[in-house]
Amino acid sequence: MISFITSHYFQIGTVILFGVGFMTLLLNNNLIRKIIGLNIMDTSIFLFFITIGYTGGREAPIINGAFKGIDAYVTPIPTGLMLTGIVVAVSTTAFALALTILFYERFGTIDLSEVMDSRGD
């Protein structure tokens, strides 16, 4: 158990962060806090992906001078994927923020619980 924690602390950290972000997004009523939760959740996934791609002792896959063989470099795919992921997260955040402004203009509050009617259906 202890050895699992010491060898996987990055992954454990990202999963905890994911949980924090997820619950903030789900349970908080304040829209700005929800958006912050969304960002924490997305960032934790990026971290998770990047820790998958990292192998201790290897360099970034940029050939500077001589090529040192395949084993000298980490795999670039997760990092590349996460660039796309970040773009997606930024656009979602931007859309959510714009919608929050509209929401505030219409209802005069950014608290969801004040606006949502609990009809129960």
Partner 1 sequence: MQGLHLTSLLSILILMITAFIMPVIKQRQLVTKISLATMGVVLVMLALVAVDVARVEHYTATIGHYDAPFGITFDIGPIEAVVGVLFAFVSTMVVWYASFGIHKEIKENRVKLFYTLIHLLLASLLGIVFTSDLFNSFVFIEVSTLAACGLIAIKDKPENIKATMKYLILSSLGSGLVLMGIAYLYSMTGHLNMRAIHETLQVSVAGNERAILVSLTMFTIGLGIKAAMFPLHIWLPDAHASAPGPSSAILSGIVIKAPVVLLFKVLFMVYGHEILKDTVILNLILIFGATGMIMGSLFARVQTDLKRMVAYSSVAQMGYIFFGFGLGNAMGMTIAIYHILAHGLTKSCLFLSVSSFIEQTGQRDIDNMRGIGREMPITLAIFSLGGLSMVGIPMLPGFVSKWNLALAAIDYGQIFLLLIILASSLLNVSYYFPIIINGYFGNANLEGKIYKSKMKPVRELVPLILLSIMMVIVGFGSGPILDWIASAMPSL
Instruction: By CB under 8 A, tell whether 24 contacts partner 1.
Output: no
Using the contact rule CB under 8 A, the part of the chain among 1-9, 55-63, 65-73, 107-115 near partner 1 is 107-115
Instruction: By CB under 8 A, tell whether 26 contacts partner 1.
Output: yes
Q: Which is nearer to partner 1, 70 or 116 (CB)?
A: 116
Q: Residue 15 half-sphere exposure, CB side, CA atoms within 13 Å?
A: 6
Residue spans of alpha helices (H) in 68-115: 77-107, 112-115
For 15, 56, 58, 81, the CA distances from 18, given in Å and listed in that order, are: 5, 24, 27, 18
* The dihedral sign for the CA sequence 58, 61, 64, 66: positive
Looking at the DSSP bridge assignments, the partners of residue 111 are: 30
Q: Which is nearer to partner 1, 58 or 81 (CB)?
A: 81
Point out which residues bind partner 1 (CB under 8 A): 18, 21-22, 25-26, 31, 34, 38, 41-42, 45, 48-49, 52, 77-78, 81, 84-85, 88, 91-92, 95-96, 99-100, 102-103, 106-107, 112, 115-116, 121
